Homo-oligomer: A and B are copies of this chain.
Amino acid sequence: VKIPELQTLRASSARDRVEIVDQTRLPHARETVVLASAADAAHAIRAMQVRGAPLIGATAAYGLALALREDPSDAALAAAHALLVATRPTAVNLRWALDRVRARVSHLDLAARADAAWTEADAIAAEDVATNHALGKHGLRLIQRLAEERRSPVQILTHCNAGALATLGWGTATAPIYLAHIARIPVHVWVSETRPRLQGSRLTTWELRAHGVPHTLVVDAAGAALMRQRRIDLVLVGADRVTRNGDVCNKIGTYAKALAAHDNDVPMYAAVPSTTIDWALDSGDAVLIEERDAGEVLNPGGESIAPAGTSVVNLAFDVTPGRLLTGLITERGICAASASGLEGLFPEHAHG
């Protein structure tokens, strides 16, 4: 099977640099940027040249490896970890990947650290592809069933970009879609544009086009209307952080789509690699929601869309209560978006 990946991140064989696709330039230009230090990696994450929880995690892991290449001391390790973990507050994969690399190297001799860190970052990247593929195979069954029961093509709504561009390959919400497309099950994807940064219109359309998957772009508010018009069979979204009770923190607009899916009996799932589950948080109400610059809202392209001086609040994420979701798709299978659902698939994380 050809892996739907878009070379979002390529680690050099000399282990001294990482090349990324600058996602702020898509869809009109595909440009790459070289990261040669932890500072470069931190900038790429902060500026959202790389985005998507899994890709942020891998980029940060390589950033830590690059820092250790320059200075493998404990102080340098701590400083690079602190720098990178502070770049984005909401995605849990970021801290998970950084902690994993740090744990792998902190007991090693200084001379061995950089190489071990790089090897660990490589493992995180490879595991992401394998995890998404496994997750995709579970999600594929949902699409197969809809193709048999309902209609063809299966009409799938997605939001933001939980695609190949958000990962090292396959994407999360898109993995079932790409597998269905490869298996010649007809699918049509409704792409929600995802204001303010327009990751749906800028990125998801771009990668679906690159892979030949039919799709149609709509504004965010149209998702609910399309569901009421019975034009959507399935909603698939990603997640930036899932709490133990199955609450899903994801791009702003996910909660409204879940309310509409629930009101119209449209099945809706979040695609969740286990690296995105924050077992330390009991509920989504405890997740820190990133607020970003007013400029993202005021300037979707060219001139400002509001009078000069207009006050803006720019919430980047929202929390969807698990009760509104049909389930979570993980690399181990599909479960209810609840504590018992998650603990059934991940018994090693069950409370006491």
Residues of chain A at the chain B interface (Cβ within 8 Å): 27-28, 193, 195-196, 198, 201-202, 205-206, 209, 215-226, 228, 252-253, 255-257, 259-260, 263, 289, 297-307, 310-315, 318-319
Candidates B218, B307, B312; contact of A206 at CB < 8 Å = B307
Assess the A255–B224 pair: CB atoms within 8 A.
Answer: yes
Assess the A217–B259 pair: CB atoms within 8 A.
Answer: no
CA distance A302 to B256 in the complex (A): 28
Given contacts A222-B318, A255-B260, 9 further A-B contacts (CB under 8 A): A201-B305, A205-B310, A206-B307, A217-B310, A222-B313, A222-B314, A224-B259, A256-B257, A256-B260
Candidates B195, B217, B255; contact of A311 at CB < 8 Å = B217
Assess the B305–A303 pair: CB atoms within 8 A.
Answer: no
Question: What are 25 of the A-B contact pairs (CB < 8 Å)?
Answer: A28-B307, A195-B219, A195-B220, A195-B221, A196-B219, A202-B305, A205-B307, A205-B310, A206-B306, A209-B310, A215-B310, A217-B306, A217-B312, A219-B253, A219-B314, A220-B253, A221-B318, A222-B315, A225-B255, A228-B255, A255-B260, A256-B260, A301-B302, A301-B304, A302-B302
Candidates B259, B304, B306; contact of A260 at CB < 8 Å = B259
Assess the A305–B256 pair: CB atoms within 8 A.
Answer: no
Residues of B near A209 (CB, < 8 A) are 307, 310
Assess the B228–A319 pair: CB atoms within 8 A.
Answer: yes
CA distance A216 to B312 in the complex (A): 5
- Closest Cβ of chain B to A300, distance in Å, is 4
Assess the A263–B259 pair: CB atoms within 8 A.
Answer: yes
- Closest Cβ of chain B to A156, distance in Å, is 14
Candidates B28, B202, B225, B313; contact of A252 at CB < 8 Å = B225
Assess the A252–B221 pair: CB atoms within 8 A.
Answer: yes
CA distance A9 to B257 in the complex (A): 38
CA distance A301 to B196 in the complex (A): 13
Candidates B27, B196, B224, B318; contact of A307 at CB < 8 Å = B27
